């Protein structure tokens, strides 16, 4: 399945909605979308993963790289609404300690506001 990426501008952040699977080939599309956001704005990035069905190692690598770039640029990357399987992949890989993960959109927004 091909990943669908929907990007919306919100006040102070970009909201990205992912639908489908991030595997080795679709991780390239995700990387390109995130890199474009990083170059074109200084906005924080919130990623809605409610419809993300699967993520592979290359996909996690994309988020890790974006997270590191975000820290260097004093912005946040926050993922939210991960299903149990996707969360477990992030957790086993140790990325739940690196990338903020929220259970809801409101919690993700509050993580932005609390750290601003």
In angstroms, rounded to a whole number, what is the distance separating the alpha carbons of residues 44 and 75?
5
CA pair distance 13, 42, nearest whole angstrom: 8
Amino acid 1: pLDDT: 62
Are 48 and 17 contacting, i.e. CB atoms less than 8 angstroms apart?
yes
Residues 71-108 pLDDT 10s: 999 999 999 999 999 999 999 999 999 999 999 999 99
Residue 98 domain boundaries: 4-115
Section 29-56 average pLDDT: 96
In this predicted structure, what is the pLDDT of residue 2?
80
Q: What is the CATH number of the domain that holds 46?
A: 3.30.750.24
Q: What is the mean pLDDT of residues 32-54?
A: 96
> How many domains, in total, are found in the chain?
1
């Amino acid at each position: 399945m091909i990943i669908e990426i929907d990007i919306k501008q919100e006040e102070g952040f970009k909201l990205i909605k992912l639908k489908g699977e991030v595997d080795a080939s679709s991780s390239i599309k995700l990387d390109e979308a995130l890199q474009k956001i990083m170059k074109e704005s200084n906005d924080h990035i919130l990623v809605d993963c409610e419809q993300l069905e699967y993520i592979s190692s290359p996909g996690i690598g994309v988020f890790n790289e974006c997270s590191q770039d975000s820290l260097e640029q004093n912005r946040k990357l926050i993922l939210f609404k991960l299903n149990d399987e996707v969360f477990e992949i992030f957790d086993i890989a140790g990325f739940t300690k690196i990338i903020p993960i929220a259970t809801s959109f409101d919690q993700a927004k509050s993580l932005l506001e609390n750290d601003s």
